[in-house]
Chain A
Amino acid sequence: MLHVENLSASIGGTPILEGLDLNVEAGEVHAIMGPNGSGKSTFAHALAGRDGYEIGGTATLDGADLLAMEPEARAAAGLFIGFQYPVEIPGVNNMYFLRTALNSVRRARGEEEIGARDFLAVAREAMDLVEMKKDFLNRSVNAGFSGGEKKRNEILQMAVMRPRLALLDETDSGLDIDALQIIAAGVNSLRSPERSVVIITHYQRLLDYIRPDFVHVLVGGRIVKSGDHTLAHHLEDHGYADFVNHDLDDAPERPLSGTAS
C-alpha cells in the first residue's frame, strides 16, 4: 500500500529526513517512535505535501506517486493526516467543513457528491464513534476547542473521510486517560483489512490501547530499528539512548521493512 524509499526532506538546506524507508501493507498498524527532533512530524507532512521542504526519494500510495501530487490530490488518493496541532478556522461550521472535505475528495475521485441529509447520517455515526455531543458539529472548526476536543475532532474527520492510510501525528499528546481511551476505541473501530494506520508517538501509552503490528524507531531522520510491539515496551523502559548514542553508520544498511519476512 504505502512504499517509502530513501525519503529525504530538508528545510533551507538543513536535513531532517535522511533516507527513510518504510513499507506499510493494507490492514497493518505501524507505530513510529523517536525522540524530539528526530523527524517524525516532518515525515507526516512531507508525505502530505506541506510547502517549504526540499524532498528527495520516492513515496507511493497504491502505486500512485504521492510526491508528484498537490496536497489535495494526495488526500483524494486516500492519505489522511491526524494533525498534532489541529488548525482553527473561525466562523466555518464544523459540519460544513466536514461535508466540503468529503465532497472534495469524492469529486476528485469522480464519485457523486453526498447531499446534506445523507451526510448528517454519516456524521452522526462518526460522532458516536468518538463520543461527541451534537452541538459539536455546529461549532467553528477547532475554534475554542479544548486540546482533547481538537484531537477527537481529528478522529471524527478520519471516520468521515474513511482514508486508505491514516497517519496520526502525536494524537495522544495532551490527552487525559479517558480521552485517550475514546480515541483509541475510535481508531480501533476504523481498523479494517483495506485501511492502514501509522501512529506517530513519543510514548508507549497509546500503544497499550491500539496494538501495532510493527514498531519503528526513528532517529536522526532514519528508521534505525524495527520490531513488533514489544519494541515499544523496550523503549519505554530504556529510552532512546541505545539508538541515539551509537553511530548511525552502524545501523542496519536497510532498515527492516514493515512486512517482516
Chain B
Amino acid sequence: MSRTAQEINDLAEASYEYGFSTDLETDIAPPGLTEDTVRLISAKKDEPDWLLQWRLKAFEAWQAMVEPDWAKLEIAPIDYQSLSYWAAPKQKPVLDSMDDVDPEIRDMFDKLGIPLHEQKMLSNVAIDAIVDSVSVTTTFKATLAEAGVIFCSFSEAVQDHPELVREHLGSVVPVRDNFFAALNSAVFSDGSFCYIPSGVRCPMELSTYFRINSQNTGQFERTLIIAEDDAHVSYLEGCTAPQRDENQLHAAVVELVAKDRAEIKYSTVQNWYPGDENGVGGIYNFVTKRGRAHTDAKISWTQVETGSAITWKYPSVILQGDRSIGEFYSVALSSKRQQADTGSKMIHIGADTTSSIISKGISAGQGQNTYRGLVKVMRSAHNARNYTQCDSLLLSSDCGAHTIPYIEVKNPTAKVEHEASTSTVGEDQLYYCRQRGMTEEDAMSMIVNGFCREVFDELPMEFAVEAQRLLSVSLEGSVG
C-alpha cells in the first residue's frame, strides 16, 4: 500500500466521539422474550387492551418468522433470548418543566451537543429526547400546540390520542411485514408521534434524538407521523450510542402517512456506535421505514448514515395517490468493519407518480457498502417515472461497494432510469488540494463532502452543517 493509501486508511479509522456511557439509575427487565415479556412492557406503559392484543398478534407472527438472509451482510447469530426488552431511566413520573429532567440526562445531552433547555436550543427546532426505551422530554410542546400540532412521545400519544394511534398504527408497515418489523411491533418501547392537522404548516422542525445507554438491551422505537390534507412537516432524527464490546440490537419502525397534497420531509443523521477496527461491538441496525403518499402528496427521505456495525434499512414510499412524489437521498459511510445494505423502495400505484433515488455510498477501511433498491411500477401507474442514481466512492483497497437495483415494471407507459458510478478519491485530487495549501485531512474531507453535496443540500440547514461535520469526524484520524 502506498503512503497515501495508508494515510487515507488512517483517516477512515477515526475514533468514535460519542462512546461515553452515563450512569443512570435504570429500570431494566430481565433478559428473555416470551409472551409475558410483551405483557410486561404493555403493563409498564399502562396500555389499553387493544394495543396489548395488537402486540400479542405481532409476537405470534414473529415466532413463526425467520430472519431474512438475502442481504449482503455477514452477521453473527443474534440470541434474542439474551437481550433485555425493557430499559428505562428511573425518573420523576411527571415533568412540569425542563428543570425536572434528571440532571444526569441533561448533562448527557449537553455532552452530545443537544441542549434540552428551550432557551439554549437551536431556534426553531423542537426535540423529543429518547434514552434507551423511553422518551425523557419533548421541548416546545406549547408552541406547537398553538398551531394544533401534536408532537409527543409515542407512549403519551397512546394515552392522550388513542383514536389517532389506533387508526394509523400498522397501516403502512403491517405487523407481518418482515421479521424485524414484527419483533418491533411486539416489543416496541417508545418513539415519537407527530400529527399535523389539515392545512397546517408545522412552524418548526421536529426532531427526535435517540440514545442507547444501557448494556445488553435492544432498542425498539416506533415512530408515527401523520400529515393531514395540505399539511407540511419536516422531521429529523439523530442517533448515538456508547462504545461497548457487545453488539446491540436496534430494530425500529417508522410509518409516515401523507394525506392529499401533504408533504413530509424525514431526515436522519444516524451515528450509532460502529464497532472498532476489528469488528468488535457496534449496533445492529435493522430498520423498517415506509411512507404512504396519497393524491398529490410528497414524501422525502434523506439519510446520512455513518454509524452502526450492521445497517439494514430501505426507507420506502408507497406512491398510492395520483401525482404523488417519493424521494430518497442517502449518504452511507462504511469504514472499519462496518457493513451497510441499504437503499430504497418506490412502489408506484397511482398515475403520473414520480420518484427519485440519489444514493451515495462511501466505503473505507474494510467496510462493505451495498445499495439495494426496488422500483416497482404497478399496472395502474400510468406514466410513472423514476430516476435512480447510485454513486460509490472507494477510499481503500480493502473495502467494497455493490449496487443491486431491482426494477419491476408492469405498465408500458413507465419511464425508469438507472445510473451508477464508482470512483476513488484520487491521489491527484489530494495532491492538487495540498498544492493549494490544504492539509491532507482537510482535502479528504472536502472531496468526500463534495461527493455527498446533492444529498446534504436536501437536509435542513442546521443539520447539513452537522452532517458535514459528522462525516469529517468519521473520516478524521492521525495523518502522517
* Closest chain A CB from B418 CB (angstroms): 19
Besides the known contacts A48-B435, A80-B435, A97-B446, 8 further A-B residue pairs in the complex with CB atoms under 8 A apart: A72-B439, A75-B436, A83-B432, A92-B446, A100-B438, A101-B437, A104-B436, A105-B436
* Closest chain A CB from B276 CB (angstroms): 29
Residues of A within 8 A of B433 (CB): 89, 97, 101
Do B449 and A92 touch (CB < 8 A)?
yes
* Closest chain B CB from A174 CB (angstroms): 18
With A71-B435, A75-B436 given, is the CB distance from A87 to B453 under 8 Å?
A: no
* 9 chain-A/chain-B pairs, Cβ below 8 angstroms: A49-B434, A75-B434, A76-B437, A89-B432, A90-B453, A91-B450, A91-B451, A92-B450, A100-B446
Partner-binding segment picked from B49-57, B318-326, B422-430: B422-430
* Closest chain A CB from B6 CB (angstroms): 11
How large, as a class, is the contact surface on chain B? 20 to 34
Do B451 and A105 touch (CB < 8 A)?
no
* Closest chain A CB from B393 CB (angstroms): 10
Identify the interface centre among A71, A141, A161: most chain B CB within 10 Å of its CB.
Answer: A71
Interface string of B434-477 (1 = CB under 8 A from A): 11111110100011011111100000000000000000000000
Q: Does B431 contact A (CB under 8 A)?
A: yes
How large, as a class, is the contact surface on chain A? 20 to 34
Do B431 and A71 touch (CB < 8 A)?
yes
CA distance A76 to B442 in the complex (A): 15
With A72-B438, A101-B436 given, is the CB distance from A91 to B429 under 8 Å?
A: no
Identify the interface centre among B432, B435, B454: most chain A CB within 10 Å of its CB.
Answer: B435
* Closest chain A CB from B11 CB (angstroms): 15
Residues of A within 8 A of B3 (CB): 51
Do B437 and A75 touch (CB < 8 A)?
yes
Q: Does B2 contact A (CB under 8 A)?
A: yes
Q: Does A171 contact B (CB under 8 A)?
A: no
Interface string of A219-247 (1 = CB under 8 A from B): 00000000000000000000000000000
Q: Does A81 contact B (CB under 8 A)?
A: yes
Q: Which chain B residues in 57-108 approach chain A with CB under 8 Å?
A: none
Shortest Cβ distance from B440 into A: residue: A72
Do B434 and A71 touch (CB < 8 A)?
yes
* Closest chain A CB from B4 CB (angstroms): 6
Do A81 and B452 touch (CB < 8 A)?
no
Residues of B within 8 A of A49 (CB): 434-435
Residues of B within 8 A of A72 (CB): 434-435, 437-440
* Closest chain A CB from B430 CB (angstroms): 9
Shortest Cβ distance from B423 into A: residue: A90
Q: Does A196 contact B (CB under 8 A)?
A: no
Q: Does A8 contact B (CB under 8 A)?
A: no
Q: Does A86 contact B (CB under 8 A)?
A: yes
Residues of B within 8 A of A23 (CB): none
CA distance A48 to B430 in the complex (A): 13
* Closest chain A CB from B461 CB (angstroms): 16
